Structure 1
Amino acid sequence: MDIRRHLSVYKGLPRDIYVLFISTVINKMGSFIVPLMTLILTEKIGFSKYEAGLFTTIAILSQAPFLVVGGSLVDRFGSKRIIVIFQSLGSLLYLTCGFMKPTVAVAVLIVIASNLYALATPAFNAMVPSITPKALMKNAYSLMYLGSNLGLAIGPMIGGILFSKNYLNLLFILDATTTIISTMMVFFFVRGKAKLSISLAKGETSGTKAESSESIFSFIVKNPVIIAFSLIMLVYYFCYVQWNFLLPLQTVEVFGKAGVSVFSSLFSINAITVIVLTPILTSITAKTYPLKSMFVGGILYFIAFGMFAINRYILIFVAAIIIMTVGEILITINSNNYIAQRTPKQYLGRVNSMFFLFMGAGFATGPLVMGSVLTFVNFQYAWIIVSALMLFGATLMYWLKFIEKKSDKKSLEDDYDEYNEIASND
């Protein structure tokens, strides 16, 4: 296998994308607080497990309006300004927590900081199309995904060590510091506009109807495929989150006290697989239409979840995790690209915020619903339900691709192939 050929998918990207990649690695490498949120609430602040769960749910739900507002702010003021302002404000609150004793006040400040970060969340996805030619957009999103996982492969491990040694205040300070560094990189080194000739121009998006003066509601009404895609992705994320909910509970039931170590190992295998295979899969699927890749990813989820249902052996768990992770890569690098390809520049912030809301709904309802299901069935039947739902979602994704090809307007797939041809000639 020619590794250099697969890594070449990241060559020729705009300079700003490489800066954003390094910024993402630094930011995620310092992501200590959110992964440890439950432990901070229970072991340091003194919440019960129920109180911690309720508090975390409320905190997640409170981010919804901030995502919506953030999307509107991005479309009005631009991605760069929103990232710099709200990432900086959020990090200052974390820095404040670093000099406080762990109390309820600290928990409240964490939530406020998370909401400030939520205001900036749509800006990161919206920035990529504004600095990347359309033909290279999938590669750019792939690099951002790789950077995020590189950082997350290191950060939580360091955070766990410092937390176990009772350095909570230092965790807040380091988290804030890495966020400030990554934000300053965006401020000083990201120009915010694509210089190449195939840049994403206003209203120049494939297969999408838009007028510069219309509202976001009018745009969505004229382009219902975006809502259909977001609803299908809600199903995808509802099923995907189960590997973080059902699987750790299942490993404890199957392997007893060793279950925690087994799940931690599976988590590490997921991260390593993402880092190793993301450039390879990006290269292999370079000319594959996004919906087709996401359909294949959904089928891989279906297979992996089915394996979880019938398995009690570690090697089968490992194989299933690798299969699931391949699906995760295909879905992640294509979903953001699909939204960007179909959305004119003036709506990118708001459409991305809407997409994050649907994604968040899947993440939030998945554990709640399947937790209730577990009171009636065992893990085997729970995974069968999830697997069947995943097959339904993948079928819907294939149907959406079929509907697009049958539409009277110019096929988005043909246009996508055209841009890939341009990219290959550059």
Structure 2
Amino acid sequence: MKTLFTTYINSFKGLNRAVWWLALITLINRAGTMVIPFMSLYLTEDLCFDLKQVGWVMSAFGAGSVIGSWLGGQLTDKIGYYKVMFISLLLSGFMFVGLQYLQTFESLCLGIFALMIIADMFRPAMFVALGAYSKPENRTRSLTLIRLAINLGFSAGPAVGGLIILTFGYPGLFWIDGFTCAIAGLLLINVLSPKKAKANPEVKVENPQSAYKDGLFWLFVVSLFLFAFVFLQYFSTVPLYYKDSFGMTEFEIGLILGANGFLIFIFEMPLIKWLESSKYNKEWLIFIGAFFTMLSFLVLNISPWIGFVFIGMLFMTVGEMVAFPFANAFAMERAKKGNQGQYMAFFSISFSFAHIFGHNAGMQLIDNFGYFNTWNVMVVIALLTMLLVYILMKKKQKENSIT
């Protein structure tokens, strides 16, 4: 036990102090995003939207995320990551509070669209900041620390969010979202201002390559979009499946989603440190992650036994732990020779497009064909993701042999 604890602690050593502060800011911000996992339930129960309307609202969420990610990347290359992160945190705090007062389908679509433009400006700026604050040899672990902060926030957020819904209703979630964004912005000013946090000079690139001309990177972006398309079902359609098929309450659903974040918090950093020292390259590990995510949907159709719900969540958690840190590392490594804000914007946009099409498509599939067929579709998309990642791996090997 002592050896395991020592190994766990050692996996965190050597990370820049500024990376720890960035992780704390991300933790505070993400702990407040309780609205997102419960959005589909909020729209169907409190506002009485049908599944097709919920799908379109989630598409507005994704469309705003696409524009916000692109805009954040452009602004990061022009005015710097620090200013972009602060503006995003401060303004999105006010907008989260205001979102609760939008009750109609049209106003909610527009409100969520505008909110996500501002909120997702943060993502490419944060990735560029991480590249500036972390040493090259620690970059994947630094990315993993940020993911741990995100998942710790998500593990606490849904569990607490379920209690808040039972006690104060959904409006309480919007107030907490806004408050935590503001707190994260204030912390950013105090601990990560350019005068207080020393960054690596390599974040600026002379004669940068345009991401638009990087064919290998675009193959990666498409693969990541398909992976995220499947993965994001766990934050929209799968909670509905838990409720409709097993009669779970919001609190119980929050505990299951929270268990995902807790497992990642405990196991991901040692796992990543071990995988970094293994013989496997980043593309192969992304392939393995897609495989486990595919299994997570495959088991849901084996039997109506509730145990497969937990097995499916476990498989998804393993897939997420393996794939996402190395997908992040692949994108940041690729961005070193280009416009970093632009590269990381397109990395974020792959998730944003998944928000546009994934949630909506999942809702429409369930409405028309039921959960069983929808999960089969997700299995097929995950298999396609694995094929594209395999092609990416072969092309990357060919590129490395030439250079």
TM range (shorter): 0.7 to 0.9
* Separation in 1, partners of 2:328, 2:204: 18
1:289 maps onto 2:284 in alignment: no
Cα distance, 1:35–1:388 mapped onto 2, change above 3 Å = closer
CA contact (8 A) 2:28 2:180 kept: yes
CA offset at residue 29 of structure 1? 1.9
Number of aligned positions between the proteins = 395
Equivalent position of 2:261 in the other structure: 271
* Separation in 1, partners of 2:361, 2:194: 41
Q: Map 1:405-424; keep pairs closer than 5 Å.
A: 405-407=397-399
Summarize deviations over 1:322-370 as a string: whole Å, max 9, x none: 1221111111111111100111276121112212222222233224334
- Which among 49, 63, 69 is matched to residue 71 of structure 2? 69
**What is the SS of the residue equivalent to 2:276?**
coil
Q: Map 1:308-327; keep pairs closer than 5 Å.
A: 308-327=300-319
Aligned residue type for 2:234: W
CA offset at residue 116 of structure 1? 1.4
- Which among 278, 290, 298 is matched to residue 290 of structure 2? 298
**What is the SS of the residue equivalent to 2:312?**
helix
* Separation in 2, partners of 1:248, 1:109: 23
Summarize deviations over 1:56-98 as a string: whole Å, max 9, x none: 4324323322321221000111111111123212223445x39
Aligned residue type for 1:212: N
Summarize deviations over 1:360-407 as a string: whole Å, max 9, x none: 222332243344444665544433332233122113212211221122
Aligned residue type for 2:312: A
CA offset at residue 142 of structure 1? 0.3
* Separation in 2, partners of 1:333, 1:189: 25
* Separation in 2, partners of 1:325, 1:232: 19
Choose 168-177 or 303-312, whichever is displaced more: 168-177
Q: Map 1:10-25; keep pairs closer than 5 Å.
A: 10-25=12-27
Aligned residue type for 2:158: P
Gaps of 5+ in 1: 204-210, 412-426
* Separation in 2, partners of 1:129, 1:83: 14
Q: TM-score scaled by structure 2? A: 0.85
Aligned residue type for 2:350: F
Q: State percent identity of aligned pairs.
A: 19
Aligned residue type for 1:348: Q
**What is the SS of the residue equivalent to 1:165?**
helix
* Separation in 2, partners of 1:374, 1:40: 18
* Separation in 2, partners of 1:88, 1:371: 32
1:232 maps onto 2:223 in alignment: yes
* Separation in 2, partners of 1:388, 1:53: 21
* Separation in 1, partners of 2:36, 2:114: 13
Equivalent position of 1:418 in the other structure: none
Choose 377-386 or 122-131, whichever is displaced more: 377-386
Larger relative CO (CA 8 A, sep 6+): 1 or 2? 2
Cα distance, 1:200–1:285 mapped onto 2, change above 3 Å = farther
Equivalent position of 1:414 in the other structure: none
- Which among 345, 348, 359 is matched to residue 353 of structure 1? 345
* Separation in 2, partners of 1:89, 1:245: 25
* Separation in 2, partners of 1:35, 1:408: 41
Choose 330-339 or 260-269, whichever is displaced more: 260-269
1:330 maps onto 2:332 in alignment: no
* Separation in 1, partners of 2:183, 2:248: 39
* Separation in 1, partners of 2:319, 2:13: 24
Higher-Rg structure is 1
* Separation in 2, partners of 1:386, 1:33: 24
* Separation in 2, partners of 1:392, 1:212: 36
CA contact (8 A) 2:59 2:357 kept: no
- Which among 217, 230, 233 is matched to residue 242 of structure 1? 233
Gaps of 5+ in 2: none
**What is the SS of the residue equivalent to 1:241?**
helix
CA offset at residue 262 of structure 1? 6.6
CA offset at residue 239 of structure 1? 1.8
CA offset at residue 168 of structure 1? 5.8
